[in-house]
Structure 1
């Protein structure tokens, strides 16, 4: 049985929520970006994630509002097993999330 995730786009309903998130704590060197890509794709979100030179992780999540809230409020506040999230700031964004969800270079 194939457990691949299928995200079907509905052209009549574009993504209705886009946020930019900055996550602080022990979030670099603990596979946070790869974990974020996996979780965002699981929730059918568009956007990206990258490390920042200040030691934080930054991401843009765009998609169905409950999926965006799940990613930000539940998943990113905890992170992967080796992470220790000490702060998370989320704010509305008008950034273009692009196609799919990807990992970007450090900024």
Structure 2
């Protein structure tokens, strides 16, 4: 199992990024959440099988059609919260 925290920077709010990420994560069988941050970035906590998590990272680098991703930070996350599904929070 792989668990990472993503911070996506650029034009990523108001362009359907959370819905896009939700659909991709659920299709890949991943759990966690996506949320908007006060600084205009989007945060994604995702956990699941290594190849599926890597695929979501690639999807987030591109984003939905109206998004402009300038930077994507990936951090290993060692939290112990258990997520049963993938959801939009905040």
TM-score range with shorter-chain normalisation? over 0.9
Equivalent position SS for 1:37: helix
Moved more, 52-61 or 95-104: 95-104
For the pair shown, which has the larger CA radius of gyration, 1 or 2?
Answer: 1
Higher helix share: 2
Q: CA deviation at 1:98?
A: 1.1
Greater RCO between the two (CA within 8 Å, min separation 6)? 2
Unpaired runs of 5+ residues, structure 2, are none
Pairwise mapping of residues 6-21 of structure 1 onto structure 2 (< 5 A)? 16-21=1-6
Match of 2:75 in 1: 91
Higher strand share: 2
Q: 1:30 aligns with which of 15, 21, 25?
A: 15
Is 1:82 the counterpart of 2:60 in the alignment? no
